[in-house]
Amino acid sequence: MKKENKNLFISGVILGLGLLGAIDGIVFHQQLQWHHMVLSPNIKLEIFTDGLFTALFSAKLIWGGVKIFQDARQNELGTSWKIFVGGILVGGGSFNLVEGIIDHHILQVHRVKPLAENPLIYDLAFLAIGLLLVLLGLMIKRLETNA
């Protein structure tokens, strides 16, 4: 893959990580209030860890934007929407997979919907969506690199 397209793909991955983090934080933490980053009887701890989570995905969004700007200034940024969207989907799916495996299963700091009748179904759906996004992103990227 040409350097310009690689830079575009990496920027997409970084933005995808931040975007899915934002969606997770906004939808699951704030709007639906299914869970917090750390489930605790101490609401201040829950709010504090949610704030750290928000800062982390916000930093990824800024990082992705800055990377695009820097690469564009150096004329080292590709122009393929397929590679860019593929990167976003791979990054977003990777967020779901890493966050789901580490936080939901290994560390068990929270579940997607801990008060559900069967919270494992929600956790597995979260992982399945992540895997689907990664595979879809790689397929879209491959369409462009094989063209």
The tens digit of pLDDT for each residue in 30-68 reads 999 999 999 889 999 999 999 999 999 999 999 999 999
Count of domains observed in the chain? 1
Q: Determine the structural domain holding residue 33 and report its residue range.
A: 3-145
The model's pTM is 0.94
The tens digit of pLDDT for each residue in 70-116 reads 999 999 999 999 999 999 999 999 999 999 999 999 999 999 999 99
- DSSP labels, 38-97: S--S-HHHHHHHHHHHHHHHHHHHHHHHHHHHHHHHTT-----HHHHHHHHHHHHHHHHH
Cα 96 to Cα 12, 89, 118, distances in angstroms = 16, 11, 19
Query: Does residue 14 contact residue 56 with C-beta atoms inside 8 Å?
Result: no
- DSSP labels, 6-38: HHHHHHHHHHHHHHHHHHIIIIIIIIS----SS
